[in-house]
Structure 1
Amino acid sequence: MTSTKDGVLVAAKQFLNFVNKSPSPFHVVQEVKALLLSSGFKELSETEPWSIKPLDKCFLTRNHSTIIAFAVGGKFKPGNGFSIIGAHTDSPCLKVKPRSKTDKSGYQMVGVQCYGGGIWHTWFDRDLTLAGRVITKNGDKLEHRLLNVEKPILKIPNICIHLMRDHNEKFSPNKESHLIPVLATAVQAELQDGSPKPSGENNKDALKEEKDKHQPLLVKLICDKLNIQPDQMMDFELCLADTQPAAIGGVLDEFIFSPRLDNLLNAYCATTALAESCNGNGLAADPNIRLICLFDNEEVGSESAQGAASTLQELVLRRLSAGGTSTAFEEAIPKSYMVSADQAHAVHPNYPEKHEDNHKIGLHKGVAVKFNANQRYATTAMTASILREIARREQCPLQEIVVRNDSACGSTIGPIMSAKLGIPTIDVGAPQLSMHSIREMCCTSSVLQTSQLFKAFFEHYPSVFASMQ
């Protein structure tokens, strides 16, 4: 499948719009929902019975941060297989502590926790904001409200080189002491709202109300954005995010400079591929159910009610298998196939020695298939061969990646899901640089190449599976 430069840029710019609207997992799910609803999908609830029929297109969410969507093939019957793409909605970031009010040396600051394995020095000297969800009380109801403060309100300033002469050689910030963003000065805060200065370096009083756990200016900002009173704010989950938008870069407009490429690129491409694969008559002839499963909490191990290690995916697949024989679910599993999609490490031009010599993947060269003999990735010779055949049919380029034997290997939801369900699984990812930095880098080609591969998977997997001996 060939792509023009214009087509590549159009797809990349559409992805940038998605990223810029998705500063937290809650916003990611909201944007995915919008894409699905515009493509004719309807929302289901876990708490209600389902009546699923061929050609139905549906989705459900859990915790507002995980979403599973599916399209039922026209020839599906219980016991048939599932064609699944899995990705995740979260990225390494800083999250506001439950009691974040911190006062130091005349500054009002916001206490944060480190979420995931971020490159934390990249968060210094960035124009930061807050995004996530706030739980509010409206009468007798608790409501989930999205928050995105679209201006820079926080900063983590570096120590100047004059006070740390070996800064360039030994800078290693203490994550508890040095990674605290500044919100305001105490002097200006007092002039602004007339509140008294806090006594001592930290306010250590026994705080009873949610609003008293955080800086008054922060509480006011949140309440003003949501048009609520402070006593209506029950709790929140807020991420720090860079206010600089994602952008096309490079002298040839060939790069994407963006936050959260890991793993919003695959979440977005899986969503668009599912929606586009339902156009035309292809779905009507499909014996399988096509699914995307976008989980939260992958960056911290997936062990949560909304993570890939939960029972969520299994419960959904069991419900979709209902109505057949008593073993319909068990019959479906060996007919199914899962693509675990998470970003991959492109060869770094300044550190080429960090990459295995025969597996240096490059930008613009296609999605990479990930292999690891120690099962950090779930790829097998069989699952790789199936995807190669699918890619061949649509001329989608593929690469292969293996880490060096003397290097640690990250992992994905692939081994988790394949072990829990026994579904044949492959790990893949588009190549990128600066993974887990606040600003990451990939190529514009990756968006279209990944979407095309995923769409080809949905359309061709059943016939490829049927051809296996």
Structure 2
Amino acid sequence: MTSKKQNTFNQALIQFLDNSPTPFHAVKNMASRLEAHGFIQLDESQTWSLEEGGRYYVTRNDSSIVAFTRGQLELGFRMTGAHTDSPCLKLKPKPELHRHQYLQLGVEVYGGALLNPWFDRDLSLAGRVHYLTTSGQLASGLIDYQRAIAIIPSLAIHLDREANKNRTVNPQKHIPPILSQLGKDEKADVRTLLKERLVEEGFEDVAEVLEFDLSFYDTQGASIIGLNNEFITSARLDNLLSCFVGLESLIQSADQSDASTVLVCNDHEEVGSQSAVGAQGPMLQSILERICETPEQFRRAMTQTVMISTDNAHGIHPNYADKHDGNHGPIINQGTVIKINANQRYATNDETAALFRWLCQQEKAECQHFTVRTDMGCGSTIGPITAGELGIKTLDIGLPTFGMHSIRETCGIKDAYELSNILKRFFELKAFPY
């Protein structure tokens, strides 16, 4: 039996997922939600005048965001982090392919995408476009076709009888989506098509499209499924799920926190985080230093700071249970997962794990553990990067998920709402219990 609050939370999550096909759209939607709850956008090029109890946020590249409340600086920061990007297919700069009277667009694989599920899906296109205005100025805008405009058809099994045994995907040859049919000598120009789309979306001063950052996405919306409605399926659960959970926790705790609270959602985690707006860049440290009034105050605040890195965790798949360590197979809808790796691929240690288990006990919530099989490699998150950059206590957690990095992933209806309450309690901690 689910509560009314949990149902409301999940419906808002589904709406956020559907409205955020790219990191640009996700940050725009998060900023709108923050502003509706009294958060003020700051300009990094201007002098800041922060008030105790104030609510603020900063964006970079329109794809990364840091939101915070300014509390008592001697108490340090309560921080949670996630990432806005997901594996996808990004349009190449000169993408037009005219083959056999079909218009296809060349794409580059972004991140560690599971490619097979991209075939035979109804795809749309969204992202940011930079253009020249009719008055000669540079400008940019977000676009989203919203409807299915492309498909990557599979090769029929009649033409590849071994497809179910050994078919592999060549990303250069096999994944350019088909958008339309053309006349025998007809050619299409993507920048002309994008100019038309900008005008359709209300940008009336477009003279010429210059550059773009556009991604294909699956048009099938997020859903609650299962015989007893146990699961949520959607694209981009990794990691918009954590972005939404962190956002709601920050907003709900804003009036209850004595310490400064921070939500950081970085772009480019799926490709290593080394960018101006990634976790390995200077964005977070720069903002924290500006919240503090002196370098000494910043260094002292870091000693009282804890970061919870929230990303997805691999739920044990009943068809592939041998891919998990026998004692560490997280179950969907049975609690947040504490992620541990002895080789520091996750930032969790015994101290930060104990803190999180204590928080779960306070909320009467379950938690689980994940560590990779000893004979398998381990992924990583923004947790170790942030810990290494700032020297702060950090732990990695996640919600159990099926199909991570697929075009469609699966999580549980209970886990996200439960984690939001745990993080809210974390944000409201005046002092740590040790």
TM, length-normalised to structure 1: 0.89
**Among 392, 399, 408, the residue aligned to 2:368:** 399
Q: CA deviation at 1:407?
A: 1.2
- 1:299 maps onto 2:294 in alignment: no
Q: What is the match of residue 340 of structure 2?
A: 371
Q: What is the match of residue 204 of structure 1?
A: none
Contact 1:114 1:175 survives alignment (8 Å): yes
Which secondary structure state, in structure 1, belongs to the residue aligned with residue 27 of structure 2? helix
**In the alignment, residue 242 of structure 1 is paired with which amino acid?**
D
Q: What is the match of residue 286 of structure 2?
A: 315
* Distance in 2 between residues matched to 1:412 and 1:387, nearest whole Å: 18
Which secondary structure state, in structure 1, belongs to the residue aligned with residue 428 of structure 2? helix
Q: What is the match of residue 109 of structure 2?
A: 114
* Distance in 2 between residues matched to 1:69 and 1:141, nearest whole Å: 30
Which secondary structure state, in structure 2, belongs to the residue aligned with residue 327 of structure 1? helix
- 1:338 maps onto 2:307 in alignment: yes
Output one character per residue of 1:186-234: Cα deviation in whole Å (capped at 9) or x when no partner: 12xx7xxxxx435xxxxxxxxxxxx95x375565445434545774312
Q: CA deviation at 1:166?
A: 0.6
Output one character per residue of 1:96-128: Cα deviation in whole Å (capped at 9) or x when no partner: 000011111221111111000000111110000
Contact 1:80 1:331 survives alignment (8 Å): no
- 1:249 maps onto 2:238 in alignment: no
* Distance in 1 between residues matched to 2:338 and 2:204, nearest whole Å: 48
Alignment map for 1:233-244 (pairs within 5 Å): 233-244=209-220
Which secondary structure state, in structure 1, belongs to the residue aligned with residue 180 of structure 2? strand
Q: What is the match of residue 70 of structure 2?
A: 72
* Distance in 2 between residues matched to 1:116 and 1:164, nearest whole Å: 28
**Among 131, 145, 148, the residue aligned to 1:149:** 145
Q: CA deviation at 1:140?
A: 4.0
* Distance in 1 between residues matched to 2:30 and 2:428, nearest whole Å: 21
* Distance in 1 between residues matched to 2:14 and 2:369, nearest whole Å: 26
Contact 1:257 1:442 survives alignment (8 Å): yes
Cα RMSD after superposing both structures: 1.7
- 1:126 maps onto 2:121 in alignment: yes
Contact 2:191 2:209 survives alignment (8 Å): no
* Distance in 1 between residues matched to 2:92 and 2:364, nearest whole Å: 48
Output one character per residue of 1:120-160: Cα deviation in whole Å (capped at 9) or x when no partner: 11111000000111112232432221111111001100000
Instruction: Return closer, same or farther for 1:458/1:41 CA change in 2, 3 Å cut-off.
Output: same
Which secondary structure state, in structure 1, belongs to the residue aligned with residue 179 of structure 2? strand
Q: What is the match of residue 15 of structure 2?
A: 17
Instruction: Return closer, same or farther for 1:216/1:316 CA change in 2, 3 Å cut-off.
Output: closer
Output one character per residue of 1:73-118: Cα deviation in whole Å (capped at 9) or x when no partner: 2xx14x5411100100000000000001111122111111100000
* Distance in 2 between residues matched to 1:60 and 1:40, nearest whole Å: 14
* Distance in 1 between residues matched to 2:2 and 2:146, nearest whole Å: 34
* Distance in 1 between residues matched to 2:113 and 2:198, nearest whole Å: 26
Q: Unaligned regions of 5+ residues in structure 1, if any? A: 191-195, 199-210
Alignment map for 1:226-305 (pairs within 5 Å): 226-228=202-204, 231-279=207-255, 282-283=256-257, 286=258, 288-305=259-276
Output one character per residue of 1:440-462: Cα deviation in whole Å (capped at 9) or x when no partner: 111111220121111111012x3
Q: CA deviation at 1:11?
A: 1.4
**In the alignment, residue 9 of structure 1 is paired with which amino acid?**
N
Q: What is the match of residue 4 of structure 2?
A: 6
* Distance in 1 between residues matched to 2:305 and 2:136, nearest whole Å: 45
Contact 2:191 2:210 survives alignment (8 Å): no
Contact 2:132 2:206 survives alignment (8 Å): no
- 1:197 maps onto 2:197 in alignment: no
Which secondary structure state, in structure 1, belongs to the residue aligned with residue 343 of structure 2? coil
* Distance in 1 between residues matched to 2:81 and 2:214, nearest whole Å: 25
* Distance in 1 between residues matched to 2:7 and 2:108, nearest whole Å: 36
**Among 78, 83, 87, the residue aligned to 1:83:** 78
- 1:93 maps onto 2:83 in alignment: no
Q: What is the match of residue 203 of structure 1?
A: none
- 1:135 maps onto 2:114 in alignment: no
**In the alignment, residue 309 of structure 1 is paired with which amino acid?**
Q
**Among 156, 161, 165, the residue aligned to 1:165:** 161
Identity over the aligned pairs, expressed in percent?
38
TM, length-normalised to structure 2: 0.96
**In the alignment, residue 358 of structure 1 is paired with which amino acid?**
N
Alignment map for 1:201-216 (pairs within 5 Å): 212=189, 214=190, 216=192
Output one character per residue of 1:234-284: Cα deviation in whole Å (capped at 9) or x when no partner: 2111010111111111111111010000001100010010000024xx23x
Q: Unaligned regions of 5+ residues in structure 2, if any? A: none
Q: Greater shift after overlay, 446-455 or 414-423? A: 446-455
**In the alignment, residue 38 of structure 2 is paired with which amino acid?**
G
- For the pair shown, which has the larger CA radius of gyration, 1 or 2? 1
Q: What is the match of residue 103 of structure 1?
A: 98
Q: What is the match of residue 177 of structure 1?
A: 173
* Distance in 1 between residues matched to 2:284 and 2:379, nearest whole Å: 23
Contact 1:110 1:215 survives alignment (8 Å): no
* Distance in 1 between residues matched to 2:208 and 2:391, nearest whole Å: 46
Instruction: Return closer, same or farther for 1:226/1:95 CA change in 2, 3 Å cut-off.
Output: farther
Q: What is the match of residue 57 of structure 1?
A: 55
Q: What is the match of residue 27 of structure 2?
A: 29
Q: CA deviation at 1:336?
A: 0.4
Q: CA deviation at 1:4?
A: 3.8
* Distance in 1 between residues matched to 2:41 and 2:203, nearest whole Å: 27
